[in-house]
Every structure is written in C-alpha cells, then in structure tokens.
Chains A and B, each alone.
Chain A
Amino acid sequence: MTGIRIRAPRSGPGRGGKRSLRDAKVAYALLLPAVALLGIFIIWPAVYAAFLSFQDWSFYSDPEFVGLRNYQNVLADGAFWAAIGRGFVFVLLTVPPMLVLAFLFASLVVSVSRRFADVLKVSIYIPTIISGVITSIVFAIIYNYSGGVLNWVLARFGVEPIAWLGDPAWALLAIAIPAVWLGMGLTSLIMIAAMVDVPQEFYEAAAMEGANWWQKTRFITIPQMKNVLLYLLITGIVAAIQQFELPLVMTGGGPLDSTMLPNLFIFNHFRFDMNAGYSIAAALLLFVVLGTVSAVVFRFVNSEKLVD
C-alpha cells in the first residue's frame, strides 16, 4: 500500500500550464459520475435529514420549523431508550463471544498445516456472503419449537423444548447466534492476518523461558495485536447496535418488543409514523450514541497499559 504520487511530466512552463488545464477538465469529467451519485444519494440526503430533524413534517404537508422538539420527543420516549438498552444487551450477547471465538479460531489456524488452514479460512468465511433473509429463514427452521433441530438436540440432554423466537426471554439470544454466525468470517480473517504478523522471535524467546500457551497468548499475542483487537471491538459494537435485518425478518421486533433493536425501532417509525422528523432525530441521536461509545471504548482500552 505504499503509493508514490506522480505528477505529470512537464516539458516547459507554457506547455505544462496547458497540460494541467487540460488535465483539470479531464479530471472533472471523469469524476462527475461518482461525485454526482455520492452527492445526490448520500450527501444531499444527509443534509436534508439534518434539516428535517428540526421540522414537523409528514409526506403530504409543508415542513414546519419546531426547533429541538423532535429531539426532545425522542429523548423523552421510553421506547427509544429501551431499544438503545436492548442494543447494548445485544452487543454483550454478540461481541465478546465473537471476539473470543475468532481469537481461538485464529490461534488454531496459525498453528496447523497450510492446507488445513486454507480449508478453515474458506469455511469460516462462507456465512459472510449469505444474505440476512436466507439466514433468517434457515435459523427460524432450526429454532422451530416442535420440529426444529436445536430442540431435538437439547432433548437428547434432557432439556425441555424452548420457543426460541416466541419467548421474550430467549428471542434476543436467538437472534444473536445468527449474528455471530454471519460476523465470524471477517473478524476471524482480520485476526489471522494480525496474528501472522506477530514476530516469531518473541515466541522463540518465550519458549526458551518455558512459557506455556496461555502465557504466550497473554503476554505476547494479545499485546502485539492490541490495535487490531481494538479495531474489531469498536467495529463489532457499532455493527451489533445497528443490526436490524435479522429481527426484521425473524421476529419483526417481537415478541413483546424483546428484539426491537434501535435501528428496527427507527425503521418502523419511518414506515408507520407520520412525523418523519421524529425518526430522523432518533437516527441522528443513535449516531451520537455510537460515536460516544466508540470514543469511550477507544479511550478506555488505549489508556490500559497492555504493552509494557
């Protein structure tokens, strides 16, 4: 990724000026499609969203300026905070297990033969390319109360059948599992790439001192991978709080709102609430929450002295 920026060769000041003028025209012409698309479909909607968040507006009327009222309404809405809280529970259900599993997986991959490592990497990555809809369909079958494979396996161990998607106590966990399944591939492969980069000399020195696997992991691997682990922790949290395709298809947020994650809450408001300003204010507030959490995690982990 080391690129050198190259300037166009110039044969004289006069011609150089002409050349760069022509370059500028070509540059704008070639950039036009990308910049126009980004402008129309991302930048303008973002600006417009910020504007609408201060308006009382439904599709068929003129927007009316209401100042911070939408934000106040969202902040005063218990359902919004409940969704945010549920988002954090969902983070706890998905991110730590995924990071631990991916770490173990990566440790395994770097210690086996090249061939087996390739098979492992390809297998773990396949779920990543499966759509949320198909994942929801297959997991709903696996979770089926009377005829699902999960309850059948549990019955072998004497566990009573569980209504995974129908019981508010279990539904969020039931959605966390496919979320981990979908997210493991990328997390694992990034961890493997980082683990391979830890200098071998460290391990050799530790082996001479008689260090065991756990000591090597605790004092060499984890500190050396700190930046990547921090990156995966923050992107994992951000992705988990924003998850909503799985609950949208599997449960629609139910039962009893037990899987109403923040983005699903906002999405449902988009579809069914007359005042668009409210939903947009909620989306922007979620963005603020995410930014704050990321900053706090970053500060907290970075302040810990993992590297002596």
Chain B
Amino acid sequence: MAASPDSRTSPGRLVGALAKGLVGLVFIAAALFPLAWLVIAGFKSKTEVVASPFQFFPEVWLWSNYVEILTDPTFLRTLAWTLFGAILFTLLSLTVNSLAAYVFARLEFPLKRALWVVVITTLFVPGMTILLTSFIVVTKLSMLDTLAVLVIPGAATAGSIFFIRQYYLSIPASLEEAAMLDGCGRIRIFAYLFLPLSKPPFVVMGIAAFLAYWNAYVWPILTITSPEQFVLQQYLATFRSERGTEMGMLMAGSALAAAPVILLFLMFQRQIIGNIKMAGLK
C-alpha cells in the first residue's frame, strides 16, 4: 500500500491520518445510514415514522412493530416461502452450471466451440428485450403462478458457468489422470474429485444466485398473481401500496427482509470481496 517511509511521526502526518479517518467514517456513515434508519424507524410508532415535527429517535423504543410483523402469518409464510425458493434456486443453479462448467473445462467433443459461443452470447442479451417473450414462453409452459416460474427460468447463467469453468481450468490434470487410469468414469471424477474442490466458486456463485432470487421483484410481479405465492419483495411493495399507513411495521418488515442477506454477506465477505479482483480486466 502507498505508505511513504519518511517522517511517520511528524505532526503533519498525524493530521493526515486523522483526516483520512474522518473521511473514512463519512463514507461508512453514508453507506450504512439508510439501513440504520430502516431499523430505527422500525422502532417508531405508526404515526411517528414520518411525523411532523420530525424526530430523529423514537419517543419510546417500541418492539411492537417487530413483534407484530414476526407474528403475522402472511409475513412469516412469505419469508419461509422465499427462503425455500431461494435455497432451491441456489442448488439448482449450482448443479446445472457446475456440470456445464466441468464439461467445458475438461471434455472434448464435436461442436464444443460452437456451443461455448452460444452460451457466452446469452450474456449479451439485455433482459428487457426478452422480458415479454420469456413471459410468453412460461405462459405456454403453464408455469405462471407456480414456484417453477421463479426457480427454473433463471437457473442457468453464462456468467456462473464461465466463473466456475475458470476455476476448474486451474485444477491440475494429474489428479484426474491417476483416477482415470484406475478406471474412473467422467461422472465419478466430477463427483469425487471436482465437487469436493468446488467450495470457493460455489460460495461466490451460490451467494450471487441466492441474492438474485431473494431480491427479485420485476419477474415475480409479472408471473405471480395469487397472494399466497408472493415472494418477499412483492409482499413488501404490496404492503407499501396497500397498508401505507402502517409505516413502522413496513420498516420493521423491510429491516427483517434485509437482515438475512446482510448476515450471509458478512459470513462470506472475505471470499466475495476477494473475488471481485477477478472482475477487474486487464
């Protein structure tokens, strides 16, 4: 890092360090304030959230919003349903994409290049151009208003296949050569050799898939119409437009909806942040 070795203890240096610390704190505050605000507003009473005159902290810290939303059967069901869908989606996505990644990294077969080009091309199709026609496809497949319409269409992604393949290409071939001489087939090699080594790319791509499902809003509002099938973001947006006066509860619900992904990120922040280097292209 860019620390110059000269005069570490001079007063100028100290002022510089203080200024840096201060600027750093401003950035941290700007990044985290909206989320803190969400949590604080969750403790306010119904009328207090956007009350005039404005009050920064609640008059009395009320737990009732959190209690109420956590005992609301609709919220709980939506939360559980979204979690279930997100886990299913993540597993499906990792399975499908890692199999394809393995094939493109290791196997030789006719039309390999052509298929690779087709897969990569899908990266450049903008979502909006195919939103309507994808909707027609899922309608024709009678997938509307089912879990399948949320879990299946987005499971395969070229980005994930590409990312996992890059990782598989770096696994030394000597391991599998030995296994192959012992008579292991390709599928066994994938299951017993590659899968156990796949944790790093699976963490990064698995979290990306989980987040994509958890945060999805546009596709669900097009394809899911019955309230008992709603996903979390849809529930929150509907709550906002239909029960707009119960602000405290909306805030508490939003804070609780954001909490799982923040925890997930904090648990794996080292891997996620470490992997962003790979996005930097040179």
Interface: B240 (CB within 8 A): yes
Interface: B146 (CB within 8 A): no
Interface: A205 (CB within 8 A): no
Is the pair A142, B96 in contact by a Cβ cutoff of 8 Å? no
> Chain B, 1-16, contact with A by CB distance < 8 Å: what is the 0/1 string?
1111000000000000
**Listed residue (B2, B50, B173, B217) with the most chain A CB atoms within 10 angstroms of its CB:** B2
Alpha-carbon separation in the docked complex, A218 to B211 (Å): 38
Alpha-carbon separation in the docked complex, A146 to B218 (Å): 30
Is the pair A149, B54 in contact by a Cβ cutoff of 8 Å? yes
> Chain A, 81-120, contact with B by CB distance < 8 Å: what is the 0/1 string?
0000000000000000000000011001011101011011
Is the pair B218, A245 in contact by a Cβ cutoff of 8 Å? yes
Known A-B contacts A7-B108, A24-B110; A137 and B254 likewise in contact (beta carbons under 8 Å): yes
Tell me the interface secondary structure of chain B in the complex.
Answer: helix
Alpha-carbon separation in the docked complex, A131 to B233 (Å): 8
Q: How large is the interface on A (under 10, 10 to 19, 20 to 34, 35 or more residues)?
A: 35 or more
Is the pair B122, A23 in contact by a Cβ cutoff of 8 Å? no
Known A-B contacts A3-B166, A125-B269; A193 and B218 likewise in contact (beta carbons under 8 Å): no
Q: How large is the interface on B (under 10, 10 to 19, 20 to 34, 35 or more residues)?
A: 35 or more
Is the pair B133, A125 in contact by a Cβ cutoff of 8 Å? no
Is the pair B28, A27 in contact by a Cβ cutoff of 8 Å? no
Alpha-carbon separation in the docked complex, A72 to B69 (Å): 51
**Chain B residues near A165 (CB-CB < 8 A):** none
**Chain A residues near B169 (CB-CB < 8 A):** 3-5
- Which residue of the partner chain A has the closest CB to B34? A138
Alpha-carbon separation in the docked complex, A239 to B126 (Å): 11
Contact of B20 among A108, A194, A283 (CB under 8 A): A108
**Chain B residues near A5 (CB-CB < 8 A):** 169
Interface: A307 (CB within 8 A): no
- A→B interface (CB under 8 Å): 1-9, 20, 23-24, 26-28, 30-31, 33-35, 37-38, 40-46, 48-49, 52, 104-105, 108, 110-112, 114, 116-117, 119-127, 129-135, 137-139, 141-142, 144, 146-149, 151-152, 178, 181, 184-186, 189-190, 193-194, 196-197, 200, 203, 207, 227-228, 231, 242, 245, 248-249, 263, 266-267, 270, 276, 279-280, 283-284, 286-287, 290
Q: List 28 A-B contacts (CB under 8 A).
A: A6-B173, A30-B99, A31-B103, A33-B99, A37-B155, A40-B137, A41-B156, A43-B118, A49-B129, A108-B23, A112-B21, A114-B1, A124-B27, A125-B265, A126-B31, A129-B262, A132-B215, A132-B217, A135-B34, A137-B236, A147-B52, A151-B54, A181-B34, A190-B279, A193-B277, A242-B126, A249-B217, A280-B129
- B→A interface (CB under 8 Å): 1-4, 20-21, 23-24, 27-28, 30-32, 34-35, 37-38, 41, 49-52, 54, 56, 95-97, 99-100, 102-103, 105-110, 112, 115, 118-119, 121-122, 125-126, 128-134, 136-137, 152-156, 158, 161, 166, 168-170, 173, 176-177, 180-181, 185-187, 190, 211, 214-215, 217-218, 233, 236-237, 240, 247, 250-251, 254, 257-258, 261-262, 265-266, 269, 272-273, 276-282
